[in-house]
Amino acid sequence: MPQPRDLLWFEKLAEHGPLPSSFLLAFAKDTHRSEKRAKERLTDLFNEDRTPDKGAYLTRPLQQFRTIDARYNQLVYDLSPASMAALKKSGSQIRPAQAGPWLHSLMVGCITASIELACLARDDLNYIPQSKVLTRAETSLQWPTEICDPDSGAIYEKNLIPDAVFGLEYLTTSGKRYRFFALEADRATEPLRSAEIHRKSFVRHLLQYEDYIVRDGYAAHLHLSAPMLVLNVTTVQNRLDKMLQLTAEHFADGCNYQLFTLWDAFRNPFCPPSPNMDLLLGDWERAGASELVIAQN
């Protein structure tokens, strides 16, 4: 029978996606006295298939072993049909399967989980998960945006699907403040520019988010009155520099809502990272605007 700590792990995997063991241990650090025993419990949840929900509660995605010296890396875990059944019984939200490459899903999960963990270490910030944002708005991540082809001038409708959305609740001396975020995890798998507007590129990303943010598409989509920013996390410094340059070219007066930072943990050879608290506490770069720390309201 799943213990309360087990259900906490299942809930975090359901919210964020696949996560390395260091993240799961960090989420449960107040529920166990021994990290060694907590790791053993994760192993038990992976191995033991004689359960009330007819199977092992955790999986270890095979993609993590397709790298050099995989046996020396920390393990990555994800939900199984049994843990999803246990979550359903408990009334918790179950995320839809995320489309796209597994490593991209892992990167997205590590980013959002890092920010939530950093919030848990503070008493002036609360993390608002994607499930709560979407449930409140009774919607999905997808939203139609109108963009103008910079070459032909033609107008097209293109669906925008952020990699994730979440919010931060700031507990200030003058009351609660809110800010929401759309996340884009960039592993340099798409071009920065494309002569074809129908192909995904960073330039098309700028056009779509201009419609979504500046023209308040996000407010209609997610039923929000608080501001929204776009977090761009990429893995290569040179690519980050080029993204900032293209943003500066597109927005002559600067752009205060497109934020950029580097996390090189998801380059090859792959090694599952530990939580990155700098995503909340560190500087995010902006084109034509000062750097921003998202922990600060």
Residue-wise pLDDT tens digits, 168-205: 999 999 999 999 999 999 998 899 998 888 889 999 99
Per-domain residue ranges of the chain: 1-95, 98-297
Cβ 133 vs Cβ 167: under 8 Å: yes
d(CA 43, CA 36): 11
pLDDT at residue 97, rounded to an integer: 64
pLDDT at residue 201, rounded to an integer: 94
SS3 state at 79 = strand
d(CA 228, CA 224): 9
Give strand pairing partners of 147.
156
pLDDT at residue 69, rounded to an integer: 74
pLDDT at residue 66, rounded to an integer: 83
Residue 92: is its pLDDT beyond 90?
A: no
- 161: which 2 tokens? 């699907």
Give the CATH number of domain 1-95; options: 1.10.10, 2.10.110, 3.40.50, 2.60.40.
Answer: 1.10.10
- Read off the pLDDT of residues 118-155 as tens digits, 9 standing for 90 and up: 999 999 999 999 999 999 999 999 999 999 888 888 89
Task: Lowest mean pLDDT of 19-28, 158-167, 193-202, name the range.
Answer: 193-202
- 230: which 2 tokens? 């776009």
Cβ 40 vs Cβ 98: under 8 Å: no
Chain Cα centroid distance, residue 207: 21
- Read off the pLDDT of residues 284-295 as tens digits, 9 standing for 90 and up: 999 999 999 999
- Average pLDDT, stretch 113-117? 98
* Residue 295: CB atoms within 10 Å: 18
Residue 268: is its pLDDT beyond 90?
A: no
User: Residue 115 — pLDDT band, cuts 50, 70, 90?
Assistant: very high
SS3 state at 49 = coil
How high does pLDDT run on average in the chain? Answer: 93
Q: What is the reported pTM?
A: 0.95
Cβ 6 vs Cβ 45: under 8 Å: yes
pLDDT at residue 38, rounded to an integer: 93
Cβ burial, residue 30 (10 Å; 0-12/13-18/19+): exposed
Residue 50: is its pLDDT beyond 80?
A: yes
